Amino acid sequence: MTDYHVRIRELPASDKPRERLRTSGAAALADAELLAILLRVGVEGMNAIQLAQQLLIEFGGWTGLQRAGFEELAQRRGMGEAKTAQLKAALEIGRRLLLASGEERFQIRSPTDAAQLMQVEMGHLDQEQLRAICLDTKHRVQKIQTVYVGSLNASMVRIGEVFKEAVRLNSASIIIVHNHPSGDPTPSPEDIVVTRQIIEAGRLLDIDVLDHLVIGNGRFVSMRERGLAFVKS
């Protein structure tokens, strides 16, 4: 018996994702409908909405799709390079909207806010990276700068580079973020040494170092919350 399968073009106009978006707005659409618009077509035996639902379940929602590698997605039945490129581009646009200019810039109020901003991109890197989030006086993100790539080492990290963009942007503060490819975000002794050096340099430059986050696989550690290198207030 052949599985019953309805193509999107056979659906009533009121049920088609693009028509619903036009009449009701994007906010009215479910995740699968939004993804189906990007995919445009499904595969044999599965329309675009069904394919979208399967992808969201399989990869664990938008965050999982963002985290998934290009090749992993492209090799998935029903995807290919063109659809994967469209999806990755759309997800990156969404991430960059968090960093929009002016009053709409993403505001960081807690270590969790900073971690959510960085976790998806940094949680799956296969090499350590050190980044600086530059913030204005209201803790809104001005820029995220990649400072260093490689194992964190006090003799290798140039502290001046950490503050280069913050000085240029006249930032009030920064948050340092680096990842542990092992997946374990427990700060190492070297992490603590580097953090102390950065905090001291920040004092000289009158730029507050709010925190140093260590990103792991689905987890993070706030060194300020742990009282590591930071003096508890």
- pTM equals 0.62
Compute CA 222 distance to the chain's CA centroid, rounded to the nearest angstrom.
17
Task: Report d(CA 66, CA 146) in Å as an integer.
Answer: 19
Q: How confident is the model at residue 208 (pLDDT cuts 50, 70, 90)?
A: very high
pLDDT at 159: 84
Residue 164's Cβ-count burial label (10 Å; 0-12, 13-18, 19+) is middle
Sequence-separated (6 or more) residues with CB below 8 Å from residue 51 = 36, 39, 42, 43, 78
Each residue's pLDDT tens digit, 93-136:
887 776 655 456 788 999 999 998 888 778 878 889 999 999 99
Tabulate helix, strand, coil % of the chain (nearest 5): 50, 15, 35
Q: How confident is the model at residue 6 (pLDDT cuts 50, 70, 90)?
A: very low
Q: Is 106 helix (H, G, I), strand (E, B) or coil?
A: coil
Full set of structural domains in the chain with CATH: 8-97 (1.10.150), 102-226 (3.40.140.10)
Spatial strand order in the sheet of 208-215: 141-149, 129-135, 173-179, 208-215, 220-222
Residue 70 has pLDDT above 80, yes or no: yes
pLDDT at 13: 47
pLDDT at 116: 85
